[in-house]
Amino acid sequence: MSTATNQSQQPPAPPSGTDPVLLLVLGIVFVLVLGATLYLCLVHPSLTGPIGAVGGVASTLVAAFAVAFALRRR
């Protein structure tokens, strides 16, 4: 007699709300956007205002996409 038939069958666990790989990729993109913005501001000090504005908007968009993807998976 097999021991597998004596064990109770449990239903599979539901999938988690967020995908860890997706969160990792979005986190890396967020850090890269901020790092690129900082680098460009240091290399081109005369363009710090426009570069900072674009980098700030881009990092905000990445954060908004991360929240949207996290909520979409639920």
The model's pLDDT over 16-69, given as tens digits with 9 standing for 90+, comes to 566 788 778 888 988 888 888 889 889 988 988 898 888 889 888 888 887 887
Comparing 10 with 51, the larger pLDDT belongs to 51
So what's the pLDDT on residue 4?
A: 56
Collapsed DSSP state (helix, strand, coil) of residue 20? helix
Q: Which residues does 36 contact at the CB level (< 8 Å), separation at least 6?
A: 55
So what's the pLDDT on residue 51?
A: 85
* Region for 63 from its dihedrals, namely left if φ exceeds 0, alpha if ψ lies in -120 to 50, beta otherwise: alpha
Residue 37 sits at φ, ψ, to 5 deg, of -65, -45
Comparing 8 with 61, the larger pLDDT belongs to 61
This prediction has a pTM of 0.58
